[in-house]
Structure 1
């Protein structure tokens, strides 16, 4: 599919990628959304929590939001989508990945960029228990990579899944990881590492036979974290093997569901490989939009929903009246 020309034009101040990224992460608020929590049991007897919000009318449509690294179902980039779609006749479920809902999960493993087995359980739950005939996905960053991997790696994608919007996608995980380790991203890198290590310290007290305090103290970078925990806990040889197997880039040619990727050109988290121009041009189901501005998940429109949220509504063909 030809590359999509973007109509996104941010307010002047937010043309700067750093400003739009930080503002969206720290200052944005979404008010008035009422969520109800549902806990589901996964195939391995672990759990995760789903935060539901509903449209006022009966509907057969639901949108599923998948968060980024160390996110959760209450992040404004999740609740903003939920609120917008609720006002347009669509139920919404904000997924909290394992261990991200305020309570440690049971297993030593947790979540990662390619954990599509958990997505399978969520989708089966929606189809079997909720009876939705139209399921849409809005993935952010890590969650965006996960859903792209899911729809590209499987031949048995349920027919109920009608569309995917993936925002700020690190579809080449190794390339994105290297970007996060550069000086320009040191603030983000250190913040992610702090939260990941703090969460890992709690997990170590639950699974002292799997991980030592000494190993945790040796983590100085995100790559160290993935070498010491992510890869070992989830069956990969090392961090590089994890990045290689779980990057969604390799699965994009197989996608057969209408899919929109929105990656800003001034997103400092993304490497050149994270802009899949060749793959989009070769696949009629895959649309690639590359706005000049927006940073990482920072497609700001003041006194309004974010550009990517309204763009998802448009892309899915949901009535915007």
Structure 2
């Protein structure tokens, strides 16, 4: 589909991409969301914790929300999105990726940008144990890449899956990694690396035969982390092989349900390859919105409701009414 003209116009202060990103990630608070946790066992014996929230009335619709790198289901952008869906009487299943729910996962492997097998396990669990007729996907950053890859890599989707919205998506992981290694993103990269290394030290204690303290000492940046851990733990040759195979960009042409990507122009995490103009132009099911502002998952809105939270509900409802 042609590029969608964005209506996002933030206050002057939030036209700054870094300020938008930092405010949304560090200072924003979302209260009054009641979540109920459910733990499911995965086919490989590991587990995922799902945090459910519900509308006021029984619903036949559910949105699966996927967080970003080192996020969880309590982050403000997840909680804010869940509240908006619940207000429109759509239930929410907010997924905590492996090791992101406050407890280390059982295996040496963890989560990564292309681990669509875990999303498939969540969808199958919902289909087998719940009574929903319509399933929607909503992913942010890493979770957005995962959702889009899932939709594009499967020849047949379950008919209950009706639509998706992905926000601040690193469609080309290598391109995004190169941006994160630039000085402009040093603060974010340091924070990500710190959290990832904290978890990796726990992995080393649990699995000393798989990774050593010497291995960890070689990690100086995020690419090193993916070379030393992500690629080895998840069956890739190296970091570049991981970025190539896990990126959603090659799969976008195959998406067959209404899907919206919202990537801001001033997102410092995204390089030019992360804006899939060509793929959207050639796929009638793929909608691309590129607001001038917004930073990375930082779309400030009035009344503590972000632009993308309202936009996701709006897009999915509009498309649903037409199908």
Identify the TM-score tier after normalising by the shorter chain: over 0.9
Residue 13 in 1 paired to residue 13 in 2?
yes
Aligned to 2:129: 129
1:218 is displaced (CA, Å) by 1.2
Aligned to 2:198: 198
Aligned to 2:119: 119
1:243 is displaced (CA, Å) by 0.2
Which ranges of structure 2 fall in alignment gaps of 5 or more residues? none
CA contact (8 A) 1:267 1:296 kept: yes
CA distance in 2, matches of 1:2, 1:154: 24
SS in 2 for 1:138: strand
With normalisation by structure 1, the TM-score equals 0.98
1:304 is displaced (CA, Å) by 3.8
Residue 78 in 1 paired to residue 78 in 2?
yes
CA distance in 1, matches of 2:269, 2:203: 27
CA contact (8 A) 1:67 1:73 kept: yes
Residue 248 in 1 paired to residue 256 in 2?
no
1:317 is displaced (CA, Å) by 1.1
CA distance in 2, matches of 1:286, 1:146: 16
Aligned to 1:88: 88
CA contact (8 A) 1:145 1:248 kept: yes
1:305 is displaced (CA, Å) by 1.1
1:302 is displaced (CA, Å) by 2.7
SS in 2 for 1:190: helix
Aligned to 2:290: 290
CA contact (8 A) 1:145 1:166 kept: yes
CA distance in 1, matches of 2:166, 2:234: 24
**Mapping 1:41-190, distance limit 5 Å:** 41-190=41-190
SS in 2 for 1:316: helix
CA contact (8 A) 1:11 1:302 kept: no
SS in 2 for 1:59: coil
Aligned to 2:24: 24
User: What is the number of equivalent residue pairs in this alignment?
Assistant: 320
SS in 1 for 2:159: coil
Alignment deviations for residues 193-219 of structure 1 (CA, whole Å, 9 cap, x no partner)? 010011100111111110001111110
**Mapping 1:299-314, distance limit 5 Å:** 299-314=299-314
CA distance in 2, matches of 1:262, 1:199: 30
Aligned to 2:223: 223
Residue 238 in 1 paired to residue 241 in 2?
no
Which ranges of structure 1 fall in alignment gaps of 5 or more residues? none
SS in 2 for 1:155: coil
1:87 is displaced (CA, Å) by 1.1
Aligned to 1:257: 257
CA distance in 1, matches of 2:317, 2:48: 30
CA distance in 1, matches of 2:56, 2:38: 19
Aligned to 1:35: 35
Q: Which runs of 4+ in 1 moved over 3 A?
A: none
RMSD: 1.1
1:56 is displaced (CA, Å) by 1.3
1:64 is displaced (CA, Å) by 0.9
